[in-house]
Amino acid sequence: MSINRRKFLKMAGISTILGIGGVSAVQGVKNHVEASQVSRNPAALTAKRWAMVVDMSKFKSEEDYQKCINACHLAHNVPHITDNPKHEVKWMWTETYEHAFPGNEDQYRAERFQEMPFLMLCNHCENPPCVRVCPTQATFKRKSDGIVMMDMHRCIGCRFCMAGCPYGARSFNYKNPRPYINESKENREFPTRMKGVVEKCTLCYERLAKGLQPACVEASNGALIFGDLEDPNSAVRKVLSERFTIRRKPELGTGPSVYYII
């Protein structure tokens, strides 16, 4: 049986691809850690759907909300980028009313409401557009408690989630963040991120796993109320039943979990 060079090369190529593909497929499926070996920390805080209520009446001075922002940014080694505002990374910050709730402008609103510094963070939506658009599930909604998480190992840095988020909650690492983290204040128990991935507030999943409240809630002195939205007896449900609250851009159907008491 004779075979010409072209046919031989074609067969060799296809067998190589099948061979490598087959081996990788088998290896990839093999599980290295049994499910039985893994469990949740018994002290962890659990909920069906975490939510937060920001009581603006309790934020009296700049120090009040700066404490929350600093607690968050220090606990998570968020870089402090000052040389180029285009590259800034922030998980929590403040905006005035017209910027926090655009579409609700009113020039005759009382000045004290116009100037109020509303705390902004990821809303951990119930129907998050960022999760819908992510091509690798690097950002995903945790089934256990509804937190919109980030898997920094999987993110390819396409920034589709940043386009998709209607709240501007996400930041991209346009450069290596390490030089912008104060080494003396860094949290050595939490990783930093590297350039080329997107980051945002992750509701302190690592603190919840140890039974602690989120860093901002702890630092807020009662101004931030945190709890399970689907537990009728939780602190958030109690506040929501007593006070009038607003959320950001609810008409978009995202179902944000951050409420604001004016």
Partner 1 sequence: MLEKAIYGGRRYWVWIFFLLGLISVGFLAYLYQFKNGLGVTGMSRDVSWGLYIGQFTFLVGVAASGVMVVLPYYLHDYKKFGRLTILGEFLAIAAVIMCMLFIFVDLGQPLRVLNVILHPTPNSVMFYDMLVLSGYLFLNLLIGWTVLGAERKEVAPPKWVKPLIILSICWAPSIHTVTAFLYAGIPGRHFWLTAILAARFLASAFAGGPALLIILALIVRKYTKFDPGKEAIQSLGKIVTYCMLINVFFLGLELFTAFYSQIPGHMHSFVYLYAGLHGHNQLVPIMWVSSILAVIAIGLLVFPQIRKNESLLAVACLATFFSLWIDKGFGLVIGGFVPNPFERITEYWPTLPEALITLAVWAIGFLVLTILYKIAISIKEEVVFDKYGEKQIKAE
Partner 2 sequence: MYNAGKIIIGIIIFVALVTFPFIFAGGKATAKPDPKIDTPEIFKMPENERKCVESKAFMKKEHMQLLNDWRDRVVRDGNTIYTNAEGKTFNMSLQNTCMRCHSNKKKFCDECHNYAAVTPYCWDCHIAPKEKES
DSSP-based three-state secondary structure for 260: strand
Contacts of residue 224, Cβ cutoff 8 Å, sequence gap at least 6: 52, 53, 54, 55, 68, 119, 214, 216, 217
DSSP-based three-state secondary structure for 141: strand
Residue with tokens 């050595």: 188
Q: How many CB atoms lie within 10 A of CB 97?
A: 20
Element holding 20 (H helix, E strand): helix 5-29
Range in contact with partner 2 (rule: CB under 8 A) among 83-91, 124-132, 150-158, 162-170: 150-158
In the list partner 1, partner 2, none, the entry touching 189 (Cβ below 5 to 8 angstroms by class) is: partner 2
Q: Is 135 in the site for partner 2 (CB under 8 A)?
A: no
Binding partner 1 by CB under 8 A: which of 54, 74, 116, 155?
A: 155
Q: Is 40 in the site for partner 2 (CB under 8 A)?
A: yes
Residues 107 and 115: their CA atoms lie apart, in Å, by 12
Q: Is 152 in the site for partner 2 (CB under 8 A)?
A: yes
Residue with tokens 């937190």: 147
Q: Is 175 in the site for partner 1 (CB under 8 A)?
A: yes
Strand 50-55 to 258-261 pairing: parallel
Range in contact with partner 2 (rule: CB under 8 A) among 35-43, 68-76, 222-230, 254-262: 35-43
Q: Is 38 in the site for partner 2 (CB under 8 A)?
A: yes
Residue 24 or 221: which CB sits closer to partner 1? Answer: 24
- Residue ranges binding partner 2 (CB under 8 A): 31-33, 36-41, 44, 77, 140, 142, 144-145, 149, 151-153, 186, 188-194, 205, 209
Name the residues that contact partner 1, by CB under 8 A.
84-89, 95, 98-100, 102-103, 129, 132-138, 154-160, 162-168, 171-176, 195-198, 249, 252-254
